[in-house]
Structure 1
Amino acid sequence: MSIWWKINIVLISLIALYALYELYVRIMMKRSAKVISQEEFQAGMRKAQIIDVRERDEFNAKHILGARSFPYSMLKESMGSLRKDQPIYIYDQNKTISARAANLLRKNGYQNLFILKGGMQDWTGKIKQKKVD
């Protein structure tokens, strides 16, 4: 077997693994939370807890106005400060980490979980942004 066949097999395997990972994330997201549009997110913001699950430096640079920082890496330790009787709106940069966060919250008894479709990268609403000097 030539080296090119081996390289092709490795590349195809990597693509297949990535596709399986994406499928897993989509299934996990559908089980744990409802993905909502920006319009739905904005309409319900006042009645929900808005959490940004990106790392703190990303949050500090730019975040949705009214959001609280709950980095996914620290969510297990900090989720106790979230109320279980109110909806939780979750977002990150695009929505992959949001799906993991929603799954973790669901496993810990939280319901009414919603993920922003497109995440921060597609957000056009009000933001708080760190000023660059």
Structure 2
Amino acid sequence: MGFWDFIIGTKKRQVEKFLNKGAVILDVRTQREWDKGHIEDSVHIPLDELNNRVEELKQLNKPIIACCQSGVRSAKAAKFLNLHNIEATNGGGWVSLKEKL
């Protein structure tokens, strides 16, 4: 098993763990990106709106799997949510996350 296989496998296990806890998928891409396609039943809050809408996510009382286009913005979102006492992980790009679901 190579390094990247290990990283990808770790992320997949983390996503599975969160899904087993009833996690919500949070898409932090822009409205324009969202309109081109997204994971069914995911919550859409663009990254630049997250600070003002964090209470909405707290009210869900569920873990969060953040996704975006490539995984960069979702990593920022997961870190931000964890700092606000919301259990969150970076699900990476939405297309690859959709394949894991």
TM-score, scaled relative to structure 1: 0.56
The runs of 5 or more residues in structure 2 that have no matched partner are 1-9
2:51 paired residue number: 76
CA distance in 1, matches of 2:14, 2:47: 25
Q: Which amino acid aligns with 1:124?
A: E
1:53 paired residue number: 28
SS at match of 2:38: strand
Any idea what the Cα deviations from partners look like across 1:2-61, whole Å, max 9, x if unmatched? xxxxxxxxxxxxxxxxxxxxxxxxxxxxxxxxx7328945x8178112100111111121
- Count of residues in Structure 1 that have an aligned counterpart in Structure 2: 90
Q: Find 1:67's aligned residue among 37, 42, 50.
A: 42
Inter-CA distance 40–76: structure 2 relative to 1 (3 Å threshold): closer
| Aligned-residue offset at 1:125 | 6.2
Q: Which amino acid aligns with 2:72?
A: T
Inter-CA distance 104–125: structure 2 relative to 1 (3 Å threshold): closer
2:63 paired residue number: 87
Inter-CA distance 40–125: structure 2 relative to 1 (3 Å threshold): closer
TM-score, scaled relative to structure 2: 0.71
Matched, 1:101 2:74: no
**Rg bigger for which structure?**
1
**Moved runs in structure 1, 4+ residues, more than 6 A?**
none
Any idea what the Cα deviations from partners look like across 1:49-92, whole Å, max 9, x if unmatched? 21001111111210011111110011001111013631111101
Q: Which amino acid aligns with 2:94?
A: M
Q: What is the root-mean-square deviation in Å for CA atoms of aligned residues?
A: 2.8
The runs of 5 or more residues in structure 1 that have no matched partner are 1-34, 127-133
